[in-house]
Amino acid sequence: MSTETLPDTTRIVLASRPHGEPTAENFRTETVATAAPGEGELLVRTQYLSLDPYMRGRMSDAESYAAPTPVDGVMPAGTVGEVVVSRADGFAPGDVVLAYGGWQSHAVVPAAHVRKVDPATAPVSTALGVLGMPGFTAYAGLAAIGRPQPGETVVTAAAAGPVGSAVGQIARQRGARAVGIAGGPRKLEMLRELGFDAVVDHRSDTFAEDLAAAVPDGVDVYFENVGGRVTREVWRHLNLYARVPVCGLVSGYNATSLPEGPDRVPALMSSVLTKSLTLRGFIQTEFVPTHHDDFLREMGGWVADGSVRYHEDVVEGLEQAPAAFVGMLRGENHGKLVVRVAD
């Protein structure tokens, strides 16, 4: 297929850097001619794009583990789509691939950076969720850092999100007790359905007491993805030698300044010392070489036999991505948030 016959590309770019919570003004929709792939590249038509908290970091130019998205650059995202034009060996039109296509209807991507997705084994959108980056984040954080042992207690916040729900279910596969923290009765009910041993609503006036009741033996692994007040309460219950994989701090991503004092760093460091705690920040890419094959094998098996389940929150249409993204940062999604861009 020649690119002359293709429809234009619709894309959403970063119009300006947000100060605090992103708003509609930080995004701009553009229509441009669809580019032709070069040697070794593919033109992919986006079917689903993934919305994830890390994108908030890319919108800022603060120092981080990844370069910021430039102003006027396409917003980044993992995508699942269909190959339209292939200029790379081993790929043909009609292949479904996981790519880093961004918030746009078509993307030119290096074939070396994509992975084929088999539509026969699971819905292709799972390559963005339970069998993709969020699921692997949960798997690798537990395998490499959290290392839950049978009978231990694993706590995760944002437990109704794609990482947290996988953390709890994987912990149970390892014989540990899974405690999930989320906001509101609908999310708690979802966690119960997924088999969490105890669930706690952080919006409740009795959150602290509820949490204490949910972890009678203390906390051995706290999978950190929120920060803030929830983390402070969990911290009180950490056991000697507890492990804290730090994979996200979504409660603070929109913060524009440090919170008021006192400075709690000395108290945090003191508990690190007196409880022999391990805190370890990580990005899932670090563990791809060592853990991704195991992940696809184990997690793929658990999803196939139903022992690990997942929820998707599917938003229809690329134009809905900015509003859905802002809502996710507020905790409004239920399950893995994806945008269906095309069939």
Residues of the shown chain interacting with its own copies in the complex, contacts defined by CB under 8 A: 57, 63-65, 224, 227-228, 231, 240, 246-249, 252, 255, 257-283, 286
Report, in Å, the least distance between residue 155 CB and its own copies.
16
Asked if the bond preceding 119 is cis, omega within 30° of 0, the reply is no
Report the candidate in 250, 258, 205, 253 with the shortest Cα–Cα distance to residue 224: 250
Nearer to its own copies (CB atom), residue 43 or residue 215? 215
Q: Would you call 216 helix, strand, or coil by DSSP?
A: coil
Q: How far is the CB of 148 from its own copies (least distance, A)?
A: 18
246, exposed or middle or buried, with CB in 10 Å at 0-12, 13-18, 19+? Answer: middle
> Least distance in Å: CB of 99 to its own copies?
25
Q: Please say which residue, 6 or 234, places its beta carbon nearer to its own copies.
A: 234
* Between 123 and 227, CB nearer to its own copies: 227
- Give whichever of 35 and 283 is closer to its own copies, judged by the CB atom: 283
Residue 103 sits at the vertex; the CA angle it makes with 100 and 106, to the nearest 5 degrees, is: 75
Helix 288-304 / helix 162-173 crossing angle, nearest 10 deg: 80
End-to-end CA distance of the chain: 19
Between 195 and 228, CB nearer to its own copies: 228
Shortest Cβ distance from residue 65 to its own copies (Å)?
A: 5
**Are the C-beta atoms of 292 and 259 separated by less than 8 Å?**
no
What is the number of other CB atoms lying within 10 angstroms of the CB of residue 278?
15
Least separation in angstroms between residue 317's CB and its own copies is 32
Give kind and range of the element (H or E) at residue 271.
Answer: helix 265-274
8 A C-beta contact, residue 169 and residue 191: no
Closest CB to its own copies among residues 120, 265: 265
> What 8-state DSSP symbol labels residue 317?
S
Nearest to its own copies of 128, 250 (CB atom):
250
Q: Minimum Å distance from CB 257 to its own copies?
A: 7
User: What's the min distance (Å) between Cβ of 271 and its own copies?
Assistant: 8
Share of the chain residues as helix, strand and coil, in percent rounded to the nearest 5 = 35, 25, 40
